[in-house]
Structures are given as C-alpha cells and as structure tokens.
Amino acid sequence: MIQMVRHIVDTRQLKDRRFLEGLFARADEMKHAVENKQVIRKHEGKIVASLFYQPSTRTKMTFDTAAKRLGAEVIGTENAREFSSAFKGETLEHSLLAVQECFDIVVMRHDKDGAAKRAATILNIPFINAGDGKNQHPTQALLDLYTIRQVFGRIGSLKIAFVGDIAQGRTIKSLAYLLAHLQNNELFFVSPPQLKLPEDMRAYLIEKGAKFLETDDLDAVISLVDVLYVTRLQWEYVQDESQKNLLQESYRKYQITHERANNMKDGSIIMHPLPINTSKSEGFPEIASEVDNHPRALYFRQSNNGLYVRMALLDVLLTGPSDPLYNLILDVP
C-alpha cells in the first residue's frame, strides 16, 4: 500500500481535534526544550526548502530557525520572484519539479491565491503553505490558536472579534475556519463596509453552523469578547490610489487605543499577526504604539510562539507516516 504524502495547505485539513491537541502538546515540548537550552537533532541530515516569493520576517525566520533547531539544514531564498527562474518566466510547477529531489520538505510563501494548492498537487514530498496571496496562512492560524490555548486553557467556547481587513486578510480566514470546526466559539467580524466578510467565507461559516456576527461598530463588541484579533489594511492588494485614501480614512475609527484596551473585559487579550502598519498609516496604525505595553497585548508573545508550533509541525511532517499526527492531516480541499 502506497502511503499518501501529507501537505499543509488549508486549515480545513485540520478539523480533527486530536491533531490540534497533539500538535500543541508537542509545541509545549519544543518550547520547554528551547527554553532549557536542550539540543534537538532529531532531523539531522534532512534539508528544508525555504521558498519565499513574497516578503516575510517572522514566518521565514521562525521556520528557518525551527528547522535548524531540529537539526535540519535550510536552503532557499526570501526573494524568489527576483532571484529564481520565475524572473525568467518559469512556472511555479516547473521550478518545484526541477528541484524537489534536493529536499525532504518544501516551505513556500507566494503572492498568488491558490499557489499553495498548485504546489501540493505536483510535489511528492511534504509541503507547507507559509501564506498564499489572500487565500490562506495555516501555520499562522495554528500559532494563533496555540496562543489562545496558552491563555485560556481551551480552544472552544470563546468569543473572538476579528477587526480590520476581513476581505483580504488570509490570517483571518485561516483562523476563522479553524475556530469554526471547534465547539461553541462565537465570531465577530468588525470592519468598514468595503472590507467586510467575503461571500465564500460567509458561506463556509454558515455551512459549518458557526455562530458569527458582522458589524462596523467596534465599541459595541469590544467589551464582550475574549480575544480581539486586529489586522492591518492589506495595502499590497489595493491598486487604486483613491480607494487607498478612502480605506485609510475609514480604518482610523478602528484603531485600538489604550482607552479601548482598558474597555475590554477582564482576562481578555489583544492579538495581531504582525506587522502592524506604522509607517504607511499616516499616524494612525491599527494598534496605537502605547498599547504595546498594555497587559492585554499579546502579539509579541503570539509571534514568538510561531517557533514552537513550526518546530512541532516540521517534526510531524519530516517524521512522516510513523508519526500518529501525520495520519490525522486530511486531504487538501
């Protein structure tokens, strides 16, 4: 019997709660090992391809570090659009097929929606989507949920408000889908009308019976939720300059200030997938700088958790079918 290669492309593959709980338990182990300076060389001799066609800081650095802490080598580029044969007109499929035997796993970020599924379809080694256009960012959703579990001790029966660019934010889609598979979570989508919940997301949440509310009134929900998940305006997908100006103006009323952070309920937290849009925000970043030191602000801890979750995920995929968690990953939808 031929064992199917597993890939991580979309959070809809991760519906099995046993996978989530097992992965997070392993991330706890990785965190303990790193904090206690324990050396892990479990995957020495293996090679990870790190192909980033879109700019990245946290995702690339934590993936590369995760691989090295597991003993694997990393080969790749963070400027694949300019410094790979894509610049010469080669297709993504040809680029991957031409080199896949060099690697044990491929980690890829791409600016085009659906690029991750295209890659997974043709590769015969494991593949991890590190973000594809406006579509999905599954490992971000996993580290987000891991952070929520750290704080609340559970991944269900929570109220989560997504604030900002709902229409174009792949991190929101990925986490919302993940939360929709779990019990009794209530989701709030807070945004300007121009950036509201897209129809495909709305249809999926309805299909799964998820409880959710759409609103443009941040202050009406801020005191109700356990998690305030804030996102930046996705400038790279807005082409029209006049539209940019309108969005920038409307975005200002959703800024998380120190006062708004104080108005949240006891025990609640503020998350953000980062980066916070500071230099392009005309003085109105989606989270004001003074909030960085607020006790509810967890986005830097959230980001650092990416190391442990990505170590755990690389461990599962590099180990392969002998790892029970490997076999709990569903097919790519």
pLDDT in tens, 291-307: 999 999 999 999 999 99
- Residues forming a β-bridge with 49: 75, 106
Whether domain 11-136+306-315 has CATH 3.40.50.1370: the reply is yes
Sort strands 47-52 and 105-110 into parallel, antiparallel or unpaired: parallel
Task: Tell me the fold of 138-302.
Answer: Rossmann fold (3.40.50)
Residues marked as catalytic: 58-59, 88, 109, 137
- Residue 50 in this model has a pLDDT that exceeds 60: yes
- What's the average model confidence in pLDDT over 166-195? 94
- The span from the CA of 303 to the CA of 159, in Å, is 21
Nearest-angstrom CA–CA distance, 55 and 75: 17
Torsion of CA 240, 241, 242, 248, to 10 degrees: 110
For CATH 3.40.50.1370, the residue range(s) in the chain are: 11-136+306-315, 138-302
Q: What is the pLDDT of residue 240?
A: 64
Q: Is the pLDDT of residue 107 over 90?
A: yes
What value does the mean pLDDT take over residues 168-176?
Answer: 94
pLDDT at 333: 87
Span 84-106, mean pLDDT? Answer: 83
- Specify the pLDDT at position 4: 85
Q: What string of DSSP letters covers 220-265?
A: HHTTT-SEEEE----GGG---HHHHHHHHHHHGGG-B-HHHHHTSP
- Percent of the chain surpassing pLDDT 70: 90
Question: 29-64 as b/e, with b when 16 or more CB fall inside 10 Å?
Answer: bbbeebeeeeeeeebeebebbbbbbbebebbbebbb
